[in-house]
Structure 1
Amino acid sequence: MLNRRSFAATLLSASAVPFVNRAIAQTESDIRSAVRDLPQFHAMIVQRGDDIVFAEALRGPGLDRVANIKSCSKSIVALLAGNAISQGAIASVEATLGVVAPSIIPSDATQGVADLTIEDLLTLRAGLEGTSGPNYGAWVNSDNWVSFALRRPMIATPGERMIYSTGTTHVLGAALTVATGQSLLEQARSVLGRPLGIEIPPWTRDPQGFYFGGNEMALTPRAMLRIAMLMRDGGRFGGEQILSADWIRASIRPHTRSPFSGLDYGYGWFLTDSGFILARGYGGQVIAAHPERDLAVAITSDPNSPARSGGYFGQLIDLLEGPLLTLG
């Protein structure tokens, strides 16, 4: 039975609903207007709690066809590393490359690479000269991508500063393959694909048959959203604990900082000051989660155009931390 105070509160709450709905509708209108002004933008899905609050494809293959997620692949490989550790295939993040996968180290590798830890590889702090940027072409045209990456000169002390390098994540992927006895494709399908109910098609492999460990994976925006939900919900999906909650917590703890964007970086995931957890791929591919605001976001963009922190990617960050954040 309602007393006078609770009755008044109920009336106030009911009267506020139209204003809340109107504010959300205005925010969605602001989002739609903002993305239409971004010529590189392809598609975006936003989920708050259990509800899809925005889903639109202005360009590109749409919401239900795969898109190249580019370097968001690095974040996927990091999740597979966590599973390999949870399953005991790798002892811990402190395990060294020389113990985990000695067979992939060439005889003429740079001195010290056998002592690189899984954590060094996860956080892009291997200390080796990068294979991204101007070195990328020579690397992917080499006859052995892992050996090429492990022969780069040591330009920093391992474990100290972040050197963005797709080759570092590719070495991690090769190490996971050796340690688990499963290809990255097999791992991705068993660890993420089947539990999340998403399709993961085969992607590029290197001359030795290792799946590309930091680029070229393809997912639909809806599949990307489910990975975002997994990160948002501490490794849970559909009422099941898919990945270790401890691993997710470790993944979103800052371990280093990007010299380009200034964003903190955990185990394969970028971290914003506002609380977003981000996978970022060339051109503006984004898998984002905000646990406190109960948000999960997937964004695809033109994979052939750059998305610099001071340009298009910066605009996507403004979108996330502006109108999208107000949805939470």
Structure 2
Amino acid sequence: MTLKTQMEKIINRSYNNIGGIIVLKNGKTVYEKYFNECTAASSFHVFSVTKSIISILIGIAIDKGNIKSINQRVLDFFPDYIIKRGEKTIQSVTIKDLLTMTAPYKYKSEPYTEYFASDNWVKSALDLLGGKGKIGEFRYTPLIGPDILSGILVTATGQSVLDFATKYLFSPLEISAKNNVVFQNKEEQFAFYEAKSVSGWAADRTGVNTAGWGLTLTPVEMVKIGQLYLDGGIWKGKQIVSTKWIDESTKEHSRSNQWKLSYGYLWWIIDDKKHVYAAMGDGGNVIYVNEKKKMVVSIASLFMPRAKDRIKLIQEYIVPVFENCVQ
């Protein structure tokens, strides 16, 4: 049995919600395959991979001077926000604290019902920011919290997140998400989670796009993001995002003891020394970049809870098959 045959056998047996896998080596496609009746045109809700896209947009906004520094205080971007009496911690939280998941929040478990019922998800997140926790301690917030970064982008750029992304990232890379997706009820939301033919970016009723989840991408679009980072932010000869931002955002700034993984600026750091990092989303959606081996892997998946670890699949089975491909 060849390594490739063994890899596909393992995928079909243990990772059977995968919709598509693409592997690039030295910028060339060495493997592209679709599963579960998906095709190259299938678009998936990539869940928390959205966070890494937001990281790119923050970097672009800094490159363009829309945001001066990640050390700016969050509340500087929300001058009309009224701080509750006795609330002090929120006044010190910076953009960097949000990017590194080291901002404190006032809840033990995320209040999803209240959050989704709100018309303004940014304000809901601000209302929960701060409290008695310490700034600097890693606390991963899947949904509630990252939306504050969307609010910052809107204030800083004067555009919607989707419009800013379309102009400076999506259009150059030919990424197809063009419309806001606003849910009228939870049934629509769950249908969005499981679909493989929707395209867009979730938004609240004020039109602000989500930052922690809600973007749809195809496997090809996902792998383009990874290749952009591998190439130092350059796409077809044009600098999309600065190399400096990529270097800073894909090195360790904080660490999750729970998952024993380092964290950059909304990117997971798989190996800081070898510069291997990934955007990872619920259900098994991954953009994996290995700079040393010049490899990028994208895996798009149909949603299922507690999906099996994709990084193990990539490092133990996919990388060994293709790392020595000569193109």
TM over 0.5: yes
Q: Does 1:321 align with 2:319?
A: no
1:90-137, CA deviations, whole angstroms, 9 ceiling, x for partnerless residues? 11110111223324x344384332331110111111111469x65223
- Kept in 2: contact 1:97–1:118 (CA 8 A): yes
Q: State the shift of 1:88 in Å.
A: 0.7
Structure having the higher Rg? 1
1:250 corresponds to 2:248: yes
Report 1 or 2 for greater relative contact order, CA contacts < 8 Å, sequence distance ≥ 6: 2
CA 1:58/1:130 → structure 2, altered by over 3 Å: closer, same or farther? farther
More moved, 213-222 vs 109-118? 109-118
Distance (whole Å) between structure 1 residues aligned to residue 204 and residue 224 of structure 2: 28
Aligned counterpart, 1:207: 205
Among 156, 170, 179, which residue is 2:147 paired with? 170
CA contact (8 A) 1:90 1:100 kept: no
- Sequence identity percentage: 29
- Aligned residue in 2 for 1:233: 231
Aligned residue among 158, 164, 171 for 1:181: 158
Confirm whether residue 305 of structure 1 aligns to residue 305 of structure 2.
yes
* Number of residues of Structure 1 aligned to a counterpart in Structure 2: 296
Decide whether aligned partners of structure 1 residues 154 and 259 sit closer, same or farther in structure 2, where only a CA change above 3 A counts. farther
Contact 1:127-1:163 at 8 Å conserved across structures: no
Equivalent residue runs for 1:95-244 within 5 Å: 95-103=72-80, 105-108=81-84, 110-129=87-106, 134-152=110-128, 154-202=131-179, 203-244=201-242
Amino acid at match of 1:281: G
**1:4-19 aligned within 5 A:** none
Matched, 1:31 2:10: no
Task: Report the alpha carbon displacement of residue 36 of structure 1 after superposing the two structures with TM.
Answer: 1.2
Alignment deviations for residues 197-249 of structure 1 (CA, whole Å, 9 cap, x no partner):
22123222113221112111011110011001012222122232211000000
CA distance in 1, matches of 2:136, 2:303: 31
Whole-angstrom distance in 1 between the partners of 2:32 and 2:132: 44
CA distance, structure 2, for counterparts of residue 231 and residue 34 of structure 1:
29
1: CA distance between counterparts of 2:44 and 2:257? 27
**Residues 134 and 98 of structure 1: is their aligned pair in 2 closer, same or farther, counting only changes over 3 Å?**
closer
Compute the RMSD of aligned alpha carbons. Answer: 2.1
Deviations 1:4-58 (A, max 9, x none): xxxxxxxxxxxxxxxxxxxxx9333232222111222221111111321111111
Contact 1:124/1:168 (<8 A) preserved? no
- Which amino acid counterpart does residue 283 of structure 2 have in structure 1? G
Alpha-carbon distance in 1 for matches of 2:311, 2:301: 14
Ranges in structure 1 where 5+ consecutive residues have no aligned partner: 1-24
Q: Quick check: 1:196–1:226 contact (8 Å CA) kept in 2? A: yes
Could you tell me whether the CA contact under 8 Å between 2:60 and 2:240 is conserved in 1?
A: no
Amino acid at match of 2:284: G
Distance in 1 (CA, whole Å) between partners of 2:97 and 2:10 is 38
Given the two structures, how large is their TM-score scaled by the length of structure 2? 0.84
Distance change (3 Å), C-alpha of 1:134 and 1:128? closer
Separation in 2, partners of 1:51, 1:89:
34
1:27–1:188 Cα change, 3 Å: farther
TM-score (norm 1): 0.84
Contact kept in structure 2, 1:162 and 1:256, CA below 8 Å: no
Code of the residue aligned with 1:324 in structure 2: it is I
Between the aligned partners of 2:298 and 2:132, the Cα distance in structure 1 is: 35
